[in-house]
Structure formats: structure tokens, C-alpha cells
Amino acid sequence: MNKKLGIFLIVLFLLLCIILIVKLEEGREQQPAPTQLIHTSSPYSTSTETPIPTMEPTSSPTPTQEATPEPRLPEGFVYVKDVIPYVHLDIRYYTENNFIGSRIDGYKAPVAILTVEAAEALKKACEIFYEKGYIVTIYDAYRPQKAVEHFVRWAEDESDTRMKHIYYPNLNKSYLIGNFISPKSGHSRGSTVDLSLLDLEGNEVDMGGYFDLFDSLSYYENSKITDAQRENRKLLREVMVECGFVPSNGEWWHFRLDNEPYTDTYFDFDVE
């Protein structure tokens, strides 16, 4: 009798052990996987939308007909990224981070468009900058005429001063028309680009002022900027001029292709 009781107790103990092991395994399976850490940064950072590009080729699957939409550009125009994959885009007029504070008419995608000639000239400049340790970041390129008209309407509305403290802190809005904003823009001819430089880690190069600041600080020659800032502006200008662009004395970031193909045509197709 005692022998049978001992066997029974041993079997019962083994069963309890098996049940305990099964429960532990089920508990492990039900535990959620560790959450992936997602890093975020300021929405106005130059590197939040896309990673800092490099000139090294990357592999990608062969595009299919469904994945490649039909081009919407007029003949003679190209997407800058198709010509210069390693350029960085920070298209401000597609966002609210601009002097108006809202997306601008005609900007339906954060892409940069230029004439073929301007894109090829810019590619040469980008190669030179890269050799020197910099990447070009583009704020604006081709600009539809409807966007220019949006600028003018906004400038004529003196009640809207949402972005004054950032983009024109020292000026009355009425001063902008004719001085910083005009009814026609060389950007609409397709061979003008607004740009600056980043280092290879994605940090903005200090130019002593920022894009679309309506102030004398944006003039290429300014006594208020430091020697280092002056040298950075000089580097930007010298390389762009070497590659066939004409600089602006009033906006250090603004460059027009010298031999632009459309000298009298102001286009109005959307940026998309």
C-alpha cells in the first residue's frame, strides 16, 4: 500500500512540473516584442524629411510600370533628383515654414524642378561642393506663376503678419512689394535656384542669415556678419559662378543660370 502511494505521489509531482513548464512557456509567448525606438527631431530641421544623401550608389528594385508614373513636366524640364540623386531638398513653399506661414499655391509635392540646362550646371556645382565636404540643400527651384501671385496677394494684405517676427522683423509689410516681392520672378522661367550648404553630417553651414529673411542681413555684402560667415558665402558664390550661375547681391542664396533657355517665358505648371 505504501509503495503504491509513493508511485502515485511521484506521478502527481511530475504532472505538476509539466503543467508549470507549459504555463511558463505560454507566458513567454504572450509577452510583447520590444518597441522599436523612433528618433524624432524638430520639424524645421534640414534632415527630418529625408536622410542626408551621399554620392555613393544604392541598390533599388527595378521600377515597374505601376510604380513609375508618367512624367508631368513640359519638354525641357527635369526633376532635380533624377539628375542629382545626392542633393538634399528642403522645399519650404510646400510647407508652412515660409514667410507666409502656409503652403503656397502650385506646390503639390516637395520636389525641385529645373530646366535641363540648369540641372546639369547645378550637378557640376554639387560635385565640386561634395569634394570640398559639403552637400547642397535646395529651398526652391522652378516656381509657378500662380505661386508668385500668391506672394503678391499676401503682401497686399497688411493684416496678415503671422510670420513677421521671423521673416521681416525690421520692416513694414508694405515695404516688401517692389523690394523683396515682385509680380514676376526669374524662378518661373525654370533656371533659378535658391540653395545653401550642409556639411556631410547634415548640419547647416552658417551663412549669417537664413533663407527668405527680408532684411539687409540677406545682402551678400554685409558688415554685420562674421569673417567665417563671409567666407561661407564666398565659397557658395564662387562655385556657383564657376558652374555658370549668376548670383544675387540682395539674396545670398539666389542663383540664376547665365545662359537660361527661356528668357521671356514665365511658366505656370504645378510643382508635383
Active site residues: 251
Spatial separation of the C-alpha atoms in residues 146 and 166, rounded to whole Å: 24
Q: Which element (helix H / strand E) includes 61?
A: none
> Chain-centre distance of CA 272, in angstroms?
15
Helical residues (DSSP H) of the chain, grouped into ranges? 2-30, 80-83, 116-131, 145-156, 164-167, 227-242
Q: What is the 3-state secondary structure (H, E, C) of 204-246?
A: ECCCCCCCCCCCHHHCCCCCCCCHHHHHHHHHHHHHHHHCCEE
Spatial separation of the C-alpha atoms in residues 267 and 145, rounded to whole Å: 6
